[in-house]
Structure 1
Amino acid sequence: MTVSTAYPADAEGVCVITVDHPPVNALPVRGWYELADAVRAAGRDPEVRCVVLAAAGRGFNAGVDIKELQRDPGNAALIAVNRGCAEAFEAVYACEVPVVAAVRGFCLGGGIGLVGNADAIVASEDAVFGLPELDRGALGAATHLARLVPQHLMRTLYFTARTVTATELLAHGSVWRVVPAAELLDAAMELASEIARKDGHLLRLAKAALNGIDPVDVRRSYRFEQGFTFEASLAGTAGRVRDTFGKEA
């Protein structure tokens, strides 16, 4: 598991945080906390005026490490990953400076929590977004999907576990640009650099002001959703559905 932080010399005021956890960037408990720590540290750095959240490998994020949950006969891993996801999502939302998500390939489950709480999204042409939670014995992140698509589409995507493309999100106004995969990081850096040219103090005040007028308390809303995930686990439903993971025909 690697969460790396870089400060490109040709992009003053921009911090790039890259997640690299092969094979598909499905993060274990510690991974969510490492990501949260990196985002918070970048936001606290007075020299940083914008953060780019990126990922290496086959896709942006495939959610939680289901196999880690399957190895735990109790609920300790579920409780830990619930808290870890909440911490990472909150870190992105509450980051003191704007966060630009650079999304390529798949953005699923917990990935939706990250990009839904980001301030802007740049995506590659092959990017797809979705919540396969009902197919994985879980619930959650509808809070964040609702920030990307209208209410009825969010519900349809949630109940069917279908995905939506970056181009479709562009039409809904939640993605800033869609570019070829080879141009993704450059496009994200272009937007981040434009943001970072603003006064750093004003940017931080603006981020706090926009969060303050948000109509939904995203942290409380997401934790409410997670309660139903735990209820499904206690009822045995989550384990039964989760045990089919990787066995689909």
Structure 2
Amino acid sequence: MPVNSEQPEPGITVVTVDAPPVNALTVRGWFDLAEAVRKAGEDPATHVVVLRAEGRGFNAGVDIKEIQADPGYGALIGANQGCAAAFAAVYDCAVPVIAAVHGFCLGGGIGLVGNADVVVASEDATFALPEVDRGALGAATHLARLVPQHLMRALYYTAGTIDAHQLHHHGSVYAVVPRADLDETALGVARQIAAKDTRVIRAAKQAINGIDVQPVHRSYRFEQGFTFELNLAGVSDAARQDFLDGK
């Protein structure tokens, strides 16, 4: 299974993505991730969720091979809906979600991290939205939660990369640690939250979401509309194929 959950300590549920070789999730994988995070938040025994990954990097976005193999638009629509579901599950989770990021965090990974409550990262962590190079749009909504507006635009238009130390400077990454210390650092933050009265923390999550100035669900779906336009125009299919061909 590319997504699994465990409770290593009282009050803490760890959701792990493990989809070799690069944690690029299929349509089913995105929906499985959404379900895992949602179910964790609904469990009264869970006070906090840690979202992490195995392998070379945290997340490489959608499985482009799956989309290209579909002669119609079913896989594309499924990927868009699956991403929206997973991002929403993190944001709407009844308890705080801590993202523990290592290696690369690309595309859909930005959606997950941007909607998390706390982000910790290893020193080798890098973040990027290569969407424009794939003929797609999306997750500027979430990148805007990690960096200031003009930097977000520059990174988006150039498909540029930013590292964990830079995000720490902007305050969106809570801590940057050696790779070997990442899981323990995430668990350390989780323990602090799990020790609180979960009734208060769950109310706090609702309250913070309620005063959020960013309408994350609506703005992300708005972005996705332009992806559909680019696909109907034939732009996206060519861009995805160029990527798979190594051009």
Give the TM-score taking structure 2 as reference length: 0.99
Show CA shifts across 1:7-62 (max 9, x none).
11xx3211000000000000000000000000000000001110000000110000
**Counterparts in 2 of 1:10-89, with a 5 A limit?**
11-89=9-87
Q: How does 1:193-232 map to 2 (within 5 A)?
A: 193-232=191-230
Give the residue type in structure 2 aligned to 1:45. Answer: D
CA distance in structure 1 between the partners assigned to 2:2 and 2:24 by the alignment: 12
**Separation of aligned partners in 1, 2:176 and 2:235:** 38
1:2, CA displacement in angstroms? 2.0
Gaps of 5+ in 1: none
Q: Which residue of 1 aligns with 2:114?
A: 116
For residue 242 of structure 1, report the CA deviation from its aligned partner: 1.1
- Aligned-residue offset at 1:248: 3.2
CA deviation after TM superposition for structure 1 residue 216, in Å: 1.3
* 4+ long deviations beyond 3 Å: none
The C-alpha deviation readout for 1:66-121, integer Å capped at 9, x for no partner, is 00111012211111110000000000000000000000000000000000000000
Match of 2:147 among 129, 146, 149: 149
Aligned equivalent of 1:2 = 2
Look up the equivalent residue of 1:4 and give its one-letter code: N
Alpha-carbon distance between aligned partners in 2 of 1:83 and 1:19, rounded to the nearest angstrom = 18
Check the 8 A contact 2:65/2:244 in 1, yes or no: no
Shift in Å at residue 195 of structure 1?
0.8
Which whole-Å deviations, capped at 9, do the CAs of 1:156-179 have from their partners, x for residues lacking one?
000000110000000000000000
Residue type of the alignment partner of 1:7:
Q
Q: Which residue of 2 aligns with 1:93?
A: 91
Amino acid at match of 1:35: L
Equivalent of residue 177 in structure 2, options 157, 171, 179: 179
What are the Cα deviations for residues 128-181 of structure 1, in whole angstroms up to 9, with x where unaligned? 001000111211000000000000000000000011000000000000000000
1:127 corresponds to: 125
Paired residue type of 2:160: R
Secondary structure at the aligned position of 1:97 is classed as coil
Give the Cα separation in 2 of the matches to 1:84 and 1:3. 14
User: Tell me, what secondary structure is at the counterpart of 2:100?
Assistant: strand
Larger mean Cα displacement after TM superposition, 239-248 or 115-124: 239-248
- Number of aligned residues: 247
- 1:246 is displaced (CA, Å) by 3.1
Cα offset for 1:247?
2.8
CA–CA distance in 2 between the matches of 1:203 and 1:26? Answer: 32
State the alpha-carbon separation in 1 of the partners of residues 115 and 12 from structure 2: 18
- What is the one-letter code of the residue matched to 1:206? A
CA displacement 1:171-194 (0-9 Å, x = unmatched): 000000000001100000000110
Please state whether the residue corresponding to 2:242 is helix, strand or coil: coil
Distance 2:10 2:71 in 1: 48
Secondary structure of 1:42's match? helix
Worse-superposed segment, 33-42 or 74-83: 74-83
